[in-house]
Structure 1
Amino acid sequence: MIQLIIADDDVKVRSAINLLLDQDRTCWQVVSEVKDVDELYSAVEKNHPQLLLLDWELADSCCSKITPENIVLAERIKRLRKIDPLMYIIGLSSKPQSRGESLFCGVDAFVAKTDPPEVFLDALYAVCKHEARFMVNHA
């Protein structure tokens, strides 16, 4: 069973993800749900999940307005990898154009929140089968 953390500031998104995961609870166990970056780091340190579902726009209480956003996001991934280098990370975003940036910053897969549920589940299965760097084709 894959232990995972859902990191999204929108409770509706977290609920929707849980509904999708309920289709196959023999594979997934949600060990934590978090709504901001501070909670995220604590949850990863405490639980060491195998998989993190990370909202790419997750609120960060310490983001500097001077630092370009992609540097902040790359540092976030780097810090998460330092806490748990074996954890897989799937980036989630309501902006499909964030796919390239998130993969460049080091996530293992990316799914747009507007994608069909099957695409989301396919990404989870692909990453968990060690098919890292799974990229959804939005052509």
Structure 2
Amino acid sequence: MPKTRKQEILRFRVNDDLYNAVKGVAAQKGVTLADVCRELLEDAIARQQGEQSQDYLLALVKRAVKEELKPVEERLAKISAKNAITSGTSMFMNMQVIQDRGYDAQDVYTKARKKAVALLKQSEDDE
């Protein structure tokens, strides 16, 4: 004797608009109301599971990218810190030399800074 699969019965209420819409789809397809409801539920479940899978994959990708970029981020931070120290040392030494030569170091610094800011604001086309 072949085994038959037990099917569960779901019972729930819907408003008139939803009922008429499902009934219209069933009539259009030439299938029963139950077939349309079953198909819609299966599609909704498949879509929900797909979205959950996408969320899981997205989380995995984000974590992998973060782990791969962490050493690069740390290296760039170290390089940036070294550049800041070098720049500060260079500026101090230059100011000391300018002052030792008898110039107003603050005035020279202010003028140089203004020129540097103007240079940075220039577009590449102006160069």
* TM-score, normalization by structure 1: 0.19
Give the number of the structure whose alpha-carbon radius of gyration is greater.
Answer: 2
Q: Hey, which of these two has a bigger chunk of helix by percent?
A: 2
More relative contact order, 1 or 2 (CA 8 Å, 6+ apart): 1
Q: Hey, which of these two has a bigger chunk of strand by percent?
A: 1
